[in-house]
Every structure is written in structure tokens, then in C-alpha cells.
């Protein structure tokens, strides 16, 4: 595109955005975010095509001014964080109900496939999980400690390693969403089959219920977080292939903001899951009723935050 054409197409928008940058205090959080994303996208394009042009310097000034305002030093605002997690994220989840259901369905179907494959042949489990891991688990079962894998490292280093690994898995699941539906769907399916085969291994050797009381002490948060990250990825990709009345770029920006909010909600959940896996799961000597209660409470929170609150908010909006 010629520089003059680029300017003509966007001149009115930039003049409006320039006025907005002169009154940033009056913008809502969403409008400020949209302004920054749009300016950044136009500046990046202008810089790549017309590096030394006056329009590039003009856009650079607007981006810098907005960036400085957003990231200026200010007092810690707990109320803003509270609003994000109690209002903004549940509202975004409510609007992504379809994507959440798709992600959950993919994962559950894949889990069932994993169970079927495991019960068909234990060789399928070995092929999927690896011979070393399966042999170690079978040795633990033989020694009467089926989930001893969670008791082999010191708590503190294990915690940080799991936090890193959990967040990496969710971000990969999300990032694959740029390949619409298929990307995040593939990662969800892969993890679903893995879980189905892993859990089936214990049932095949008669320690299924005992393993569940240990594994789901952290899995009650960890597994839903992966599914939610998958839903965030599907939300991202959906904006690309189903833009509606928006241009594809605008739709992708919009879905990107929505999906990031959904993904953001998994970070504290994954941190708590890592804490349970590192410090709590290893306590197989605890009373079964206590462990079951913890699992149900964790699942209850997930249902309350990701199902009940968004449903309640959506119902309130529709009135």
C-alpha cells in the first residue's frame, strides 16, 4: 500500500485518536485498551513500510503517550484487581459460553478415547506415556505407594517447577488458538487422551480410587485450567475465522482482548494447583473423607466461578 493511501484511509481515525490521547483520564479501561492496541498495530505497520516517514513519527508519539499513561507509576489499586476477577472475567466467560463448551467437549471425548485405548491394551499406555514413567508407576503400585511420584522431590523446588510447567502448558494451549479451533483443540485432545490413559493405568492395577483421591487433590484445579486455556485459545481463533461485521484484524484484536482475560484467570488457579501438588497431594495418609472433601470443594469453586457467576451475570444482562 502506498503511504498516501495508508494516510487517506486512516486520517479521520487518527485525528480522533489524537484527541483521545489528550484526554486519557476520561477513557474507560476498555476504551484505553482498544486505543493502545489500535495505535500499536498502525504504528507497527507504518514502521515496517515507511520507517522514516512523518506519519510513522506521528503514530510513534501517540503510542508513546498512551503507553506512558498506562504504565505510569501509581499506587497499587486493589479495587481494580478485585473488579477484574469479580466482574470483568466472569462477564467475558459468560460471552464465551460456546467456546467453553467446545473446549470441555473436546477434552472429555479425548479422555474417553484414552480410557478405551488403555483398556484395549496396556501397550497403548506405554506408547503414550513412555515406558520409563509406566514402569516407575507400576513399581510404586507394587510397593503399595501408587502415587509416590508426588513424594520424590522437596516441596519448595517442586512447587516452582510445577508453577512454571503448568503456566507453560496453558500458554501453549492458548497460543495454538491462532490456528482456529484445530490448534487449541489438538492440545486439549492430546492432554485428554493422556489423562484418560494415566488414570486408567491405576484402575487396571486395582488402585483406581486411591489414585483419584491423590491425583485430584491438585487435578481439580489443574485440569479445568487447561480446559479454560483451551477455551481462551478457541476464542482467539474464532475472531479470525468468524469476524462477523468487523474486519478480520479488528475481530482478531477484539477476540484477543477477550481471550487474554479468560487466560489471565487461570494463573492464580494454576499456582494454587501447584501448591496442592507440591505440599498436599503427597499426604496419602490423610483420611479419605478429608481428601474427598478437599477435592469436592475445589471442583465446587470452579463450577461456582466459571459456571454459576457467569450464568447469573448473563441472565441479569438479558433482562
Tens digits of per-residue pLDDT, 64-89?
888 887 776 455 567 777 888 888 89
| Domain span including residue 257 | 86-314
Tally of domains in the chain = 2
- Please say whether the beta carbons of 226 and 234 come within 8 A: no
**Residues 122 and 227 reside in one and the same domain:** yes
**Residues 61 and 157 reside in one and the same domain:** no
pLDDT per residue as tens digits for the range 279-314: 999 999 999 999 999 999 999 999 999 999 998 888
**Residues 68 and 120 reside in one and the same domain:** no
- Please say whether the beta carbons of 175 and 312 come within 8 A: no
The answer to whether residue 319 sits within a structural domain is no
Residue 43 phi/psi, 5-degree rounding, is -65, -45
**Residues 235 and 104 reside in one and the same domain:** yes
Distances from the Cα of 315 to the Cα of 37, 91, 161, 309, angstroms: 30, 11, 41, 10
The answer to whether residue 258 sits within a structural domain is yes
Average pLDDT of 265-284?
A: 93
Higher-pLDDT residue of 298, 237: 298
pLDDT class of 225 with cuts at 50, 70, 90: very high
pLDDT score for 319 = 62
Average pLDDT of 212-233?
A: 95
Let me know if 144 is exposed, middle or buried by CB neighbors in 10 A (0-12, 13-18, 19+).
exposed
Amino acid at each position: 500500500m502506498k503511504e498516501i493511501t495508508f494516510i487517506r484511509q486512516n486520517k479521520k481515525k487518527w485525528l480522533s485518536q489524537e484527541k483521545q490521547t489528550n484526554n486519557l483520564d476520561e477513557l474507560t479501561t476498555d476504551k484505553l485498551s482498544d486505543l493502545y492496541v489500535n495505535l500499536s498495530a498502525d504504528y507497527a505497520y507504518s514502521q515496517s513500510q515507511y520507517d522514516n516517514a512523518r506519519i510513522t513519527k506521528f503514530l510513534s508519539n501517540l503510542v508513546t503517550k498512551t503507553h506512558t499513561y498506562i504504565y505510569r507509576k501509581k499506587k497499587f489499586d486493589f479495587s481494580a484487581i478485585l473488579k477484574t476477577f469479580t466482574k470483568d472475567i466472569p462477564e467475558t466467560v459468560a460471552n464465551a459460553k460456546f467456546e467453553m463448551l467446545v473446549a470441555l467437549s473436546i477434552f472429555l471425548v479425548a479422555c474417553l478415547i484414552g480410557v478405551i485405548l488403555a483398556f484395549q491394551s496396556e501397550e497403548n499406555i506405554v506408547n503414550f506415556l513412555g515406558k520409563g514413567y509406566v514402569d516407575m508407576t507400576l513399581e510404586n503400585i507394587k510397593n503399595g505407594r501408587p502415587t509416590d511420584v508426588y513424594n520424590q522431590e522437596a516441596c519448595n523446588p517442586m512447587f516452582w517447577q510445577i508453577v512454571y510447567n503448568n503456566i507453560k502448558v496453558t500458554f501453549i494451549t492458548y497460543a495454538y488458538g491462532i490456528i482456529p479451533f484445530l490448534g487449541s483443540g489438538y492440545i486439549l485432545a492430546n492432554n485428554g487422551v493422556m489423562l484418560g490413559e494415566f488414570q486408567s493405568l491405576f484402575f487396571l492395577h486395582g488402585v483406581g480410587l486411591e489414585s483419584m483421591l491423590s491425583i485430584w487433590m491438585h487435578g481439580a484445579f489443574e485440569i479445568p485450567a487447561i480446559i479454560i486455556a483451551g477455551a481462551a485459545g478457541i476464542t482467539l481463533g474464532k475472531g479470525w475465522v468468524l469476524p462477523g461485521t468487523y474486519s478480520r484484524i479488528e475481530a482478531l484484536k477484539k477476540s484477543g482482548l477477550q481471550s487474554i482475560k479468560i487466560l489471565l484467570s487461570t494463573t492464580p488457579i494454576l499456582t494454587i494447583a501447584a501448591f496442592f501438588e507440591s505440599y498436599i497431594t503427597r499426604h496419602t495418609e490423610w483420611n479419605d473423607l478429608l481428601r474427598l472433601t478437599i477435592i469436592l470443594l475445589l471442583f465446587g469453586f470452579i463450577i461456582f466461578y466459571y459456571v454459576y457467576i457467569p450464568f447469573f451475570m448473563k441472565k441479569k444482562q438479558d433482562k
